[in-house]
């Protein structure tokens, strides 16, 4: 009997955990995402509040030298001392689009 109850409890826990989604996927939709806010939260500590650079390069006119795809690749994969994956998915795409417009 104890094994049955324990099995039910463990099975329920696994089921509920699988149904629960993580906070990352339940975040704002693309329409609600503000690329500047995403940048400020993940990138500004190294690239500066005005994209002017501090411990990382100035990216205030990065769109003049890199395409959207190149910027997205750097965000996803990293480059030099910058680690990849600071932003992912739609968040990375939104910031890459925003940065690609900086000429």
Q: Domain extents for the chain?
A: 31-103
Q: Is the pTM of this model over 0.75?
A: no
User: Is it the case that residue 11 has pLDDT exceeding 60?
Assistant: no
Residues 49 and 69: beta-carbon distance below 8 Å: no
Which of the pair, 19 or 85, is modelled with greater confidence? 85
pLDDT value for 16: 43
pLDDT digits (tens, 9 = 90+) for 35-46: 999 999 999 999
pLDDT value for 77: 98
Q: Which CATH topology does 31-103 take?
A: Cytochrome Bc1 Complex; Chain D, domain 2 (1.10.760)
Cβ count within 10 A of residue 71: 23
pLDDT digits (tens, 9 = 90+) for 51-103: 999 999 999 999 999 999 999 999 999 999 999 999 999 999 999 999 999 99
């Amino acid at each position: 009997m104890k094994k049955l109850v324990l099995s039910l409890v463990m099975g329920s826990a696994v089921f509920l955990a699988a149904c629960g989604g993580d906070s990352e996927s339940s975040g704002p939709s693309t329409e609600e995402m503000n690329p500047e806010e995403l940048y400020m939260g993940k990138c500004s500590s190294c690239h500066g509040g005005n994209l002017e650079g501090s411990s990382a390069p100035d990216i205030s006119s990065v769109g003049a030298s890199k395409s959207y795809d190149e910027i997205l690749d750097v965000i996803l994969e990293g480059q030099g001392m910058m680690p990849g994956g600071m932003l992912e998915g739609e968040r990375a795409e939104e910031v890459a689009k925003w940065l690609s417009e900086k000429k």
